[in-house]
């Protein structure tokens, strides 16, 4: 089956540093990738949608200068949390879709990145 690899699985860093999270589709071409944020015992909150080769579409309230998304190839998208602060600590999850209607295919999720900012 389709596999999405997300790296790193957890990261702890000091306030003010930037953190990059990678999301790779290992065995299929991901034309669309999503980035979610999840707080404890809450559902997924969509942050942004990215299509290969174009700028990401951010959800309302998500700072695009804070959360930089790059989808440079059909197998890789990255999320960079710039100048991270403790309030950015969360569980970040990516997912990927192949070509076709979004709803007519499964979303393939990575295993998430636990980000802790000290």
Footprint on this chain of other proteins (rule: CB under 8 A): 4, 6, 34, 41-44, 46, 91, 93, 95, 101-112, 114
The string of DSSP letters for the chain reads ---EEEE-SEEEE-TT--EEEEEEESSS--SEEEEEEE-TT--EEEEEEEETTSPPEEPTT--TTTEEEEEEETTEEEEEETT--GGG-EEEEEEEE-SS-GGGS--EE---EEEEE-
CB nearer other proteins, residue 6 or residue 50: 6
What's the closest the beta carbon of residue 51 comes to other proteins, in angstroms? 10
What's the closest the beta carbon of residue 83 comes to other proteins, in angstroms? 26
CB nearer other proteins, residue 17 or residue 26: 26
């Amino acid at each position: 089956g389709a596999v999405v690899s997300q790296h790193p699985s957890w990261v702890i860093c000091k306030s003010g540093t930037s953190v990059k999270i990678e999301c790779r589709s290992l065995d299929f071409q991901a034309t669309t990738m999503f980035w979610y944020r999840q707080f404890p015992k809450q559902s997924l909150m969509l942050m942004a949608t990215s299509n290969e080769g174009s700028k990401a579409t951010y959800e309302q309230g998500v700072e695009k200068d804070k959360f930089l998304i790059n989808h440079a190839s059909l197998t890789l998208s990255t999320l960079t949390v710039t100048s991270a602060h403790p309030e950015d600590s969360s569980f970040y999850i990516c997912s990927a879709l192949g070509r076709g209607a979004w709803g007519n295919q499964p979303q393939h999720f990575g295993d998430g990145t636990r980000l802790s900012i000290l």
